[in-house]
Amino acid sequence: MINGIVIGRQPQVKVLVRISGYPDLEIGCVINTGFEGALTLPVAAIAKLQLPYVATINSNLANDENLPTPVHRATVVWDGVELEVPVLAMGRRPQVGTLLLNNCNLNIDFSDGSILSIEAL
């Protein structure tokens, strides 16, 4: 099970990023159920982590704008399991999407300071 917290009406969890030859890095991420991918990170964070580039895709944003978006690859530890996931280089704050939430139960009480849980089905 993964636990997180609600801060300012934003459900947040920490994602462990594993980079060969370096200590694991814990990144605080907002859960975005409107994002169908795995993870987004700001461009500067991806550059600093030197995540390998995979491709550029068109991302369709909430305002129906299509935006060319670089996709990189990262190894994350999610609920104790090491996974290779696509990481979109976009936005100001890291986000977890529904690809990582697939086959999970997400339980959130939207009250500041509330604990949220993500549990495998």
Distances (CA, A) of 38 to 8, 34, 71: 22, 11, 11
Residue-level pLDDT at 62:
83
3-state secondary structure of 63: coil
Residue-level pLDDT at 109:
95
Residue-level pLDDT at 60:
87
Residue-level pLDDT at 116:
98
Residue-level pLDDT at 42:
96
**pLDDT tens profile 47-95:** 999 999 999 999 988 889 899 999 999 999 999 999 999 999 999 999 9
CATH assignment at residue 74:
2.40.70.10
**35, burial (CB in 10 Å: exposed 0-12, middle 13-18, buried 19+):** buried
Contact between 36 and 89 under an 8 Å Cβ cutoff? The reply is no
Residue 84, Ramachandran bin (φ over 0: left; ψ between -120 and 50: alpha; else beta) = beta
**pLDDT tens profile 16-43:** 999 988 899 999 999 999 999 999 999 9
Residue-level pLDDT at 111:
95
Instruction: Please count the structural domains in the chain.
Output: 1
Residue of 31, 23, 25, 22 lying closest to 2 (CA atoms): 31
For residue 54, the enclosing domain spans: 2-120
